[in-house]
Amino acid sequence: MRFLKGLSEKAGKAIESESARRSFADVADLSRRCALRPDELDRLAWAGALSSLGLSRREAMWQVAEVGRRAGPLYESLPPSSAPTPLPPMSALAETEADYDATGMTAGPHLLTYLRERLRQGGVLSASELWSRQDGDRVRAAGAVIVRQRPGTAKGFVFLSLEDESGIVQAIVRPDLFRENRTLIVGSPGLVVEGKLQTTDGTLSVRADLFWPLPSLPDLPSHDFR
């Protein structure tokens, strides 16, 4: 709950305390016992935190919208409406994207899992598959950009950490190529890179000279130029 955006510390502690005392019967019970605001209920539903109540995310979103509109103590003890939600179920990809939006991380499949087949058709190798290639081979790799670094001692070279469902690969970018592709490299949450594979002392990296944005990725948290 510490990572859930929009949830106050007070609300998080109330949920922790009340759940230890007695399980929540339904969304209305949770809202009443923890004195949650409608927007906090929305964030819990969006993040999938109400699955313990037997609700899918869309079912939870439908119920918290109904519970959050209630006014006065007379209605607080009523259970949520049993009417089925008219909202279509979320796809697995949509749920993963919601995880990142709600908390900046996911406990489910990595986003690259959903793109792997299309990437494979384009000759893109996963981080684990790169270990089967030889030093100097020309390869393509892709991933969510989780780190962008330009150390002061690296003579202007930029180092990118690309994360996929199997691991992390480092891409090395020459200063001139970084200047030419700065907007793409800095502004894209995910990248496809092509270049020569470099294996040194048990480490693996791609000396990238071509770059493409990786489509269908939401904005992801990254550590840039630290």
Longest Cα–Cα distance in the chain: 72
Does residue 3 fall inside a structural domain?
no
- The pLDDT tens digits for 154-202 are 899 999 999 999 999 999 999 999 999 999 999 999 999 999 999 988 8
Domain count, the chain: 2
Q: Which of 69, 103, 137 is the last residue of a domain?
A: 103
Does residue 4 fall inside a structural domain?
no
Beta bridge partners of 224: 148
95 and 159, same domain (yes or no)? no
Q: What angle do CA 154, 155, 161 make, to 5 degrees?
A: 40
Domain that holds residue 182: 111-224
Q: How far apart are CA 224 and CA 80, in angstroms?
A: 45
Cβ–Cβ < 8 Å for 58, 90: yes
pLDDT at 74: 47
Within 10 Å of residue 190's Cβ, how many Cβ atoms? 23
- CATH number for position 152: 2.40.50.140
Beta bridge partners of 205: 170, 198
Is 124 buried (19+), middle (13-18) or exposed (0-12) by CB count in 10 A?
buried
- The pLDDT tens digits for 14-49 are 999 999 999 999 898 999 999 999 999 999 999 999
Q: Which of 85, 103, 121 is the last residue of a domain?
A: 103
Phi, psi of 156 (to 5 degrees): 90, -5
* pTM score of the predicted model: 0.77
31 and 85, same domain (yes or no)? yes
pLDDT at 67: 84
- The pLDDT tens digits for 80-99 are 656 677 888 899 989 998 99
120-102-62-55 Cα dihedral, nearest 10 degrees: 70
93 and 121, same domain (yes or no)? no
141 and 61, same domain (yes or no)? no
Q: What angle do CA 44, 49, 50 make, to 5 degrees?
A: 90
> Which residues are within 8 A (CB) of 121 and not within 5 positions of it... i.e. 6 or more apart?
none
